[in-house]
Amino acid sequence: MKRVFLFLLTNLAVMLVLGVVLSIIMSALGLSHRSLGGILLIATVFGFGGSFISLFMSKWIAKKSTGAQVITQPRTETEQWLVNTVAAQAKKAGINMPEVAIYDSPEMNAFATGPSKNNSLVAVSTGLLHNMSQDQAEAVLAHEVSHVANGDMVTLTLIQGVVNTFVIFAAKVLAGIVDNFINSDEEEGGSSWTYFLFDMLFQVLFGVLASVVVAHYSRKREFAADNGAAQLVGADKMRSALERLKQNHPSQLEGSMMAFGIASGKGMAELFSSHPPLDARIDALRR
């Protein structure tokens, strides 16, 4: 419930901010909501704006939604090992030291997030620390550091912004065409219920198709992060970590945290999964 409430509150705040910005820009440019220029502006502001605001807030959202506690002063040998390991890997990867955090969850998982390579967070679950060997945990950390070093968070945000813009623009244009056909231009200003109905329907339809594109990119970045981890700590350690994940609990991570975690939820259709099958990742490391 905490995650749901935070998600709704954050999205409401984002929508309000973008709505105010959009109103100011459209008034200044003299654009209407039903003109192609107006629709493109709406699609761009909400498509890219929402993605980039989420990116800039990603560390804060991740900490609040998972309850992750950042290690500021290591209190145990495990915490000291985590900080030292991430520091060494970050130096080797050529990035600034990420914040390191632990969150309470029975699943063996970890995630990376943050607005840039040099302003990031790497978090691991208590389940991973309790159920993986040190070599396996080291490989998982290297996988997350590789995500950061590869700039995957920013690139995924750009891709998400592009597909969001396309979804909104195409949905509104087609909804306007259908609305005009049904109402024969009797209702002006785009206020008819048919316009809003078809706008929502098309956004859902195109949104499903767009998620396939984003998931495809996410899967490719998982292979790249596995390869990066193999270069940082060795392919054997990374393969061992992936083998251990076969006995994992279902992932509780959501959104971008799931996309840049080491493991994803099970049972999703492969087209919509943010992660490739574990066996495919292990085979890729062997090759």
Q: How many whole angstroms separate alpha carbon 68 and alpha carbon 58?
A: 13
Distance (Å) of CA 233 to CA 71, 89, 142, 218: 23, 9, 7, 22
Instruction: Select which of 99, 107, 138, 144 is catalytic.
Output: 144
* Ligand-binding site membership of 186 (annotated): no
DSSP 3-state helix, strand, coil percentages of the chain (rounded to 5)?
Answer: 70, 10, 25
Alpha-carbon span 210 to 212, nearest angstrom: 5
Residue 249, marked binder: no
What Å distances lie between residue 179 and 19, 43, 124, 125, 190, CA to CA? 24, 19, 50, 50, 8
Contacts of residue 190, Cβ cutoff 8 Å, sequence gap at least 6: 33, 34, 176, 179
For the beta carbon of residue 132, count every other beta carbon within 10 angstroms.
Answer: 21
* Catalytic residue check, 254: no
Q: Are 31 and 38 in contact (CB under 8 A)?
A: yes
Query: According to the annotation, is 143 in a ligand binding site?
Result: yes
Give the angle subtended at the CA of 173 by the CAs of 212 and 194, to the nearest 5°. Answer: 100
Look at the block and give the residue holding tokens 């309850």. Answer: 67
230: which residues sit within 8 A by CB, 6+ positions away? 238, 285
Nearest CA-CA partner of 94 in 281, 212, 1, 231: 231
CA-to-CA distance for 21 and 226, rounded, in angstroms? 40
Give catalytic residues, as residue numbers. 144
Binding residues for Zn(2+): 143, 147, 222
| Residue ranges of the binding site | 143, 147, 222
